[in-house]
């Protein structure tokens, strides 16, 4: 019975893999673009999940790391034409990770609501810097993002961009899964459940909280770089507080603490505006309504709700309530 | 006065009371004894409305009480002094007492009751402008009891009044409790300190993991072999 | 000497803004003390009420001495409605839930306000003359300033008396300290929660009427109000007098910084203060460390 399950799972992943690879041939340009954006948000969701879902810390400032990653890609591509995009993404991720690590120190002194407020403040400060450092970032009006490059090769078409993003996403997903299953992942969960107990097991809050922030920022930073390549133009308004809120909405709606939840959340958050296309004025309200309804009635998010229906546990530990 | 019939109560996920029936007659002092976690506090919370039983009935003066919100139960004449006292830490002694009289409207009546309480607990009168958190353990217990009395309850529920207090203080508090009972208030008392409780009580019940194992008159329980071995340290 | 005059002038402006921060911070601290929820939607609530006041004043042409109390009452019910619809289910749940619930309500409110009225700027007629008078030494003042300061202080005094000298006020303070005990005293705790939200919304509406003529009435105005969070944290999130002091202090500091440093620094100044306070003095300037339970 059990290894039938394994066969089923393997087959499922296989089919999924084929579908994803064939996507450019099945979908039109626009839908491919949507797909690509969803992948970016999945990465964001993974990053947010490390903080909110696994370690239990709420950050409303992650949009700053999104911006750092995005501006890194843009600036490096502009100043150094032909700069390999992989390295640009990596640099964006590392820079975000480094700053995230520092931000993580503030999590040692604060928790819960105070931490959230601190991260808001951080996000506001970074946003202001994006706007003021005109020489580097083009100021409030933003800057254009050159195509992702590898020396003289440029990735121009939607198909090429899609494969690029898919490649990065899958890689990061595998990394994520390994992380969660490792001791580090378990340490995160232990901290979420009870900081005091975790400490008595010898888990250093200093080490793991800052690490969680750093890894989360890394993911969001890389996602930011991909976002920049996709959108081809970025400005400080892309990294305002509302964006950070939407990031949290993704993981709450999707379900905290699960990979499936991250995927659901990204899909829901991005699919909704598409469904109501042309109603940009309504976007904020719809996002707010969805968030509110989820919090009031489905505190575990969509994946948690599905869990309850199916009565089974998913890939990782239970979602946070 | 108080009739409890076969109540089953959950405390969170724990099956705390497994079909308890007991009675408290008017004018009596009834003690409920047992170890930690036996369900004693849960019993009081079920009576005062902080928890609702999933099965069974609680009747007070012929009126149904289970399933009713705590703030309405107080108005029916039951006052609960919870475990840990649950005072209002930053309010003064006087303000705490005034909160006790929340359900009463007539100022004259409140003033009279205040004098009565100060009569039982003179130390509270001295400290009336101090915050509750600045009092000693014994004084806090007195404040908690005094506060509960401000609503002129017919039935007073006391949860571990001796907890954390020195023996001399415990004696004094129990003396005062006897006095309160003498003035006509029925008392249902939960205690770990069996000896003190049984010396005072007319009737007693022993709880073990959510069920009643022994019951009887106070004097009889003091002689009961099981009770002596388990709770009186002999 | 010129510098000194400039400083005093900025302090006057700062006190005016500070009174508004103080009012809104008081609203937030009331809700936090009473229900444990940090109301991130306070800004949007204030803006919403202010738009209502705008309609009362401009569309219905009601005089301000009618608009003030009418707006107060309407906002009272509005606050209760919000609590019943959304925040009631969130009390006692983890902070993440209540925080995001507030954020969600804020988003919805902001959007609804823009849809029902407009996303553009509106000019709100001032409740007091905004004519500027010159004082000796080159200082300027205006009846509007005095009106703002006066009404703010009046409200704060009335609120203080309400909270500390009335039976209802006592029950609110008691519930804030120990809801379980309050229930055992016969306090209908859910009414108390509703009342906290109602009062908060009402006071907020007055703050909105006072500030809107000074700035521009606009859906984005909530950011200004968001700074009240900083004031509340600065003063101590559990301290009502702290909210007042924090508000005025913030207003004055903000203006002084703005005078002497480039404007973008003034923008981030508020957030830097917030970060600093949270990391260094989390209980705020007037707060105390976590109290022990009795």
Give the 3-state DSSP-derived string for A249-270, with helices as H, strands as E and coil as C: HHHHHHCCCCHHHHHHHHHHHH
In a domain, B86, yes or no: no
Contacts of B136 in chain C (CB under 8 A): none
Q: Which residues of chain B have pLDDT under 70?
A: 233-234
The residue assigned the tokens 């002038």 is C9
Helices (H), C59-188: 64-82, 95-116, 143-165, 167-177, 179-184
In a domain, C258, yes or no: no
The residue assigned the tokens 């800052």 is A210
| Pick from A117, A129, A296: CB nearest C278 | A117
The confidence score (pLDDT) of residue C154 equals 92
The confidence score (pLDDT) of residue A275 equals 62
Q: What is the mean pLDDT of residues C29-41?
A: 86
pLDDT bucket at C288, cuts 50 / 70 / 90 = low
How far away is chain C from the Cα of B75, in angstroms, using its nearest Cα? 7
Burial class (CB in 10 A: 0-12, 13-18, 19+), C7: middle
Q: Which residue of C has its CA nearest to B44?
A: C184
Lowest mean pLDDT among A7-16, B100-109, C170-179: A7-16
Q: Which residue of B has its CA nearest to C183?
A: B71
Are the CB atoms for B127 and B139 separated by under 8 Å?
A: yes
Instruction: Verify whether the Cβ–Cβ distance C99 to A113 is below 8 Å.
Output: yes
The residue assigned the tokens 């006071």 is C203
| b/e code A193-210 from CB counts within 10 Å (16+ = b) | eeeeebeeeebeeeebbb
pLDDT bucket at A223, cuts 50 / 70 / 90 = very high
Q: 3-state DSSP call for residue C29?
A: helix
**Closest of B151, B178, B18, B101 to residue C167, by C-alpha:** B101
Burial class (CB in 10 A: 0-12, 13-18, 19+), B111: exposed
Instruction: Verify whether the Cβ–Cβ distance C185 to B100 is below 8 Å.
Output: yes
The confidence score (pLDDT) of residue B155 equals 92
Most B-contacting residue of C164, C186, C239 (CB-CB within 10 A), to test interface: C186
What percentage of chain C exceeds 90 in pLDDT?
Answer: 20
CA A286 and chain centroid, separation: 21
| Domain count for chain B | 1
The confidence score (pLDDT) of residue A316 equals 35
Task: Report the greatest alpha carbon distance in chain A.
Answer: 63
The confidence score (pLDDT) of residue A303 equals 57
Give the residue numbers spanning the domain of B194: 2-80+149-231
8-state DSSP, C283: T
C-alpha–C-alpha distance, residues A167 and B186, integer Å: 76
| Domain count for chain C | 1
Q: 3-state DSSP call for residue A150?
A: strand
Question: What does pLDDT average to over chain A?
Answer: 79
Lowest mean pLDDT among A66-80, A265-279, C6-20: A265-279
**Closest of B111, B113, B208 to residue B153, by C-alpha:** B113
The confidence score (pLDDT) of residue A305 equals 58
Q: What is the mean pLDDT of residues C188-199?
A: 91
| Pick from C107, C229, C278: CB nearest A288 | C107
The confidence score (pLDDT) of residue C204 equals 92
How far away is chain A from the Cα of C172, in angstroms, using its nearest Cα? 23
Lowest mean pLDDT among A34-38, A90-94, C290-294: C290-294
Q: What is the mean pLDDT of residues A32-54?
A: 84
What would the two tokens of residue C77 be?
């019910």
Question: What does pLDDT average to over chain C?
Answer: 84
**Which of B42-56, C86-100, C266-280 is predicted most confidently?**
B42-56
Q: Dihedral of the CA atoms B53, B54, B59, B62 (nearest 10)?
A: 150
In a domain, B92, yes or no: no
C-alpha–C-alpha distance, residues B79 and C181, integer Å: 11
pLDDT bucket at C294, cuts 50 / 70 / 90 = very low
Residues 6+ apart with CB under 8 A from C181: B82, B86, B87, B88, B99, C174
Lowest mean pLDDT among A84-93, C92-101, C241-250: C92-101
Contact partners for chain A, using 3 or more CB pairs closer than 8 A, are C
Instruction: Verify whether the Cβ–Cβ distance C178 to B71 is below 8 Å.
Output: no
C-alpha–C-alpha distance, residues B210 and B19, integer Å: 8
Are the CB atoms for B101 and B150 separated by under 8 Å?
A: yes
The confidence score (pLDDT) of residue A317 equals 37
In a domain, C292, yes or no: no
Q: What is the mean pLDDT of residues C197-207?
A: 93
The confidence score (pLDDT) of residue A273 equals 63
Beta bridge partners of B2: B24, B60
Interface of A with C in 32-91 (CB under 8 A): 52, 58
Q: What is the mean pLDDT of residues A13-24?
A: 76
A204, HSE (Cβ side, Cα atoms, 13 Å): 5
pLDDT bucket at A318, cuts 50 / 70 / 90 = very low
Contact partners for chain B, using 3 or more CB pairs closer than 8 A, are C
C-alpha–C-alpha distance, residues A226 and A152, integer Å: 19
Complex ipTM: 0.86
C-alpha–C-alpha distance, residues B151 and A290, integer Å: 46
The confidence score (pLDDT) of residue A136 equals 80
pLDDT at A110 over 80: no
The confidence score (pLDDT) of residue A278 equals 58
pLDDT bucket at A302, cuts 50 / 70 / 90 = low
User: DSSP string of B139-206?
Assistant: HHHHHHHHHHHTT--SEEEEE-TTTT--HHHHHHHHHHHHHHHHTT-EEEEEES-HHHHHHH-SEEEE
User: DSSP string of A192-243?
Assistant: HH-HHHHHHTT--HHHHHHHHHHHHHHHHHHHHHHHHHHHSEE-GGGGSHHH
pLDDT at A105 over 50: yes
Are the CB atoms for A123 and A202 separated by under 8 Å?
A: no
The confidence score (pLDDT) of residue C291 equals 46
C-alpha–C-alpha distance, residues A72 and C222, integer Å: 31
Q: 3-state DSSP call for residue A299?
A: coil
The confidence score (pLDDT) of residue B120 equals 85
What percentage of chain A exceeds 90 in pLDDT?
Answer: 11
The confidence score (pLDDT) of residue B79 equals 92
pTM: 0.82
In a domain, B101, yes or no: no
Q: 3-state DSSP call for residue A167?
A: helix
In a domain, B104, yes or no: no
**Closest of A148, A127, A155, A167 to residue A225, by C-alpha:** A148
Lowest mean pLDDT among A54-58, A66-70, B93-97, C182-186: A54-58
C-alpha–C-alpha distance, residues A196 and A203, integer Å: 10
Burial class (CB in 10 A: 0-12, 13-18, 19+), C86: buried
C-alpha–C-alpha distance, residues C146 and C131, integer Å: 12
What would the two tokens of residue A11 be?
């087959």
8-state DSSP, B62: T
CA B3 and chain centroid, separation: 16
| pLDDT tens, position by position, A240-277 | 888 888 888 888 877 776 777 777 778 777 766 666 55
Q: Are A and B close enough to touch, i.e. 3+ CB pairs under 8 angstroms?
A: no
Contacts of C294 in chain B (CB under 8 A): 84-87, 89, 132-133, 135, 140
How far away is chain B from the Cα of C32, in angstroms, using its nearest Cα? 16
Instruction: Verify whether the Cβ–Cβ distance B102 to C293 is below 8 Å.
Output: no
How far away is chain C from the Cα of B196, in angstroms, using its nearest Cα? 24
Are the CB atoms for C225 and C43 separated by under 8 Å?
A: yes
pLDDT at A165 over 70: yes
Q: 3-state DSSP call for residue C123?
A: coil
In a domain, B131, yes or no: no
Give the residue numbers spanning the domain of C215: 14-226
State the sign of the Cα–Cα–Cα–Cα dihedral A249, A255, A256, A258: negative
In a domain, C41, yes or no: yes
Residue C221 has φ and ψ, to the nearest 5°, of -65, -15
C-alpha–C-alpha distance, residues C228 and B89, integer Å: 28
pLDDT bucket at C203, cuts 50 / 70 / 90 = very high
The confidence score (pLDDT) of residue A320 equals 37
Are the CB atoms for C251 and C53 separated by under 8 Å?
A: no
How far away is chain A from the Cα of C146, in angstroms, using its nearest Cα? 32
User: DSSP string of C87-102?
Assistant: IGGGTTS-HHHHHHHH
The residue assigned the tokens 């290894």 is A3
pLDDT bucket at A314, cuts 50 / 70 / 90 = very low
The confidence score (pLDDT) of residue A199 equals 77
Are the CB atoms for A122 and A103 separated by under 8 Å?
A: yes
**CATH code of B180's domain:** 3.40.50.300
């Amino acid at each position: 019975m059990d290894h039938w399950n394994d066969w089923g799972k393997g087959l499922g992943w296989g089919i999924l893999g084929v579908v994803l690879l064939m996507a450019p041939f099945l979908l039109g340009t626009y839908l491919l673009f949507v797909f690509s954006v969803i992948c970016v948000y999945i990465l964001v969701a993974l990053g947010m999940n490390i903080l909110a879902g696994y370690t239990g810390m709420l950050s409303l400032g992650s949009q700053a790391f999104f911006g750092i990653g995005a501006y890194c890609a843009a600036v490096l591509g502009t100043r150094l034409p032909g700069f390999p995009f992989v390295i640009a993404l990596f640099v964006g991720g590392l820079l975000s990770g480094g700053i995230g690590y520092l931000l993580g120190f503030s999590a040692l002194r604060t928790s819960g609501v105070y931490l959230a407020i601190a991260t808001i403040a951080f996000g506001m400060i970074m946003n202001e810097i994006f706007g003021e450092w005109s020489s580097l970032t083009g100021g409030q009006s933003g800057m254009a993002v050159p195509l992702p490059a590898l020396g003289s090769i440029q990735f121009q078409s939607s198909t090429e961009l899609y494969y690029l993003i898919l490649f990065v996403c899958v890689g990061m997903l595998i990394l994520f899964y390994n992380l969660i299953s490792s001791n580090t992942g378990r340490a995160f969960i232990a901290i979420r459940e009870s900081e005091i107990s975790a400490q008595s097991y010898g888990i250093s809050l200093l080490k793991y909280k800052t690490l969680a922030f750093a890894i989360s920022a890394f993911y969001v930073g890389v996602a930011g770089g991909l976002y920049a390549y996709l959108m081809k133009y970025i400005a400080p308004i892309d990294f305002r507080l509302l964006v950070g809120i939407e990031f949290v909405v993704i993981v709450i709606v999707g379900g905290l603490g699960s990979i499936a939840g991250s995927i659901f959340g990204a899909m829901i958050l991005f699919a909704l505006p598409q469904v109501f296309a042309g109603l940009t004025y309504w976007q904020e309200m719809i996002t707010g309504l969805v968030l509110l309804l989820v919090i009031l009635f489905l505190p575990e998010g969509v994946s948690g709700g599905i869990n309850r229906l199916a009565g089974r546990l998913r890939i990782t530990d239970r979602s946070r309530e | 006065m108080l009739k409890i019939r076969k109540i089953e109560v959950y405390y969170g996920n724990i099956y705390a009371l497994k079909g308890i029936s007991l009675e408290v007659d008017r004018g009596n002092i009834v003690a409920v004894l047992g170890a930690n976690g036996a369900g004693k506090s849960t019993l009081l919370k079920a009576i005062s409305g902080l928890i609702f039983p999933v099965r069974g009935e609680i009747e007070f003066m012929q009126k149904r009480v289970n399933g009713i919100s705590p703030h309405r139960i107080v108005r029916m004449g039951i006052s609960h002094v919870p475990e840990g006292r649950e005072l209002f830490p930053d309010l003064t002694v006087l303000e705490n007492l005034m909160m006790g009289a929340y359900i009463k409207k007539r100022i004259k009546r409140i003033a009279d009751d205040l004098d009565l309480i100060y009569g039982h607990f003179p130390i509270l009168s001295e400290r009336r402008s101090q915050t509750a958190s600045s009092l000693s353990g014994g004084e806090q217990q007195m404040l908690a009891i005094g506060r509960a009395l401000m609503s002129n309850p017919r039935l007073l529920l006391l949860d571990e009044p001796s907890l954390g207090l020195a023996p001399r203080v415990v004696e004094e508090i129990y003396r005062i409790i006897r006095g309160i009972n003498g003035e006509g208030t029925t008392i249902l008392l939960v205690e770990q300190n069996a000896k003190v409780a049984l010396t005072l009580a007319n009737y007693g019940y022993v709880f073990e993991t959510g069920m009643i194992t022994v019951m009887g008159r106070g004097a009889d329980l003091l002689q009961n072999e099981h009770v002596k071995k388990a709770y009186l340290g002999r | 000497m010129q510098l000194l005059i400039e400083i005093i002038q900025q302090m006057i402006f700062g006190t005016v803004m500070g009174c508004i921060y103080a009012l809104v911070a008081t609203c937030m601290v009331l809700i936090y003390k009473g229900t444990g929820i940090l109301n991130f939607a306070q800004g949007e609530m204030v803006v919403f009420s202010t738009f209502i006041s705008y309609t009362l004043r401009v569309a219905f042409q009601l005089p301000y001495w009618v608009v003030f109390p009418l707006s107060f009452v309407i906002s009272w019910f509005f606050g209760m409605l919000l609590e019943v619809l959304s925040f009631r289910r969130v009390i006692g749940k983890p902070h993440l839930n209540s925080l995001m619930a507030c954020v969600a309500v804020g988003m919805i409110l902001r959007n609804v306000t823009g849809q029902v009225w407009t996303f553009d700027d509106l000019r709100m007629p001032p409740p007091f003359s905004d004519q500027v008078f010159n004082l000796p030494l080159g200082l300027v003042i205006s009846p509007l300033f005095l009106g703002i300061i006066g009404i703010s202080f009046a409200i704060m005094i009335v609120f203080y008396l309400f909270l500390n000298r009335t039976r209802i006020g006592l029950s609110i303070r008691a519930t804030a300290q120990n809801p379980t005990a309050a229930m055992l005293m016969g306090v209908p705790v859910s009414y108390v929660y509703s009342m906290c939200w109602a009062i908060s919304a009402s006071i907020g509406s007055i703050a909105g009427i006072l500030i809107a003529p000074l700035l521009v009435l606009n859906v984005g105005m909530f950011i200004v109000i968001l700074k009240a969070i900083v004031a509340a944290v600065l003063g101590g999130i559990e301290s009502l007098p702290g909210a007042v002091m924090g508000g005025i202090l913030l207003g004055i500091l903000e203006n002084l910084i703005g005078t002497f440093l480039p404007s973008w620094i003034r923008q981030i100044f508020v957030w830097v203060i917030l970060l600093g306070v949270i990391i260094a003095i989390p209980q705020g300037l007037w707060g105390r460390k976590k109290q022990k339970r009795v």
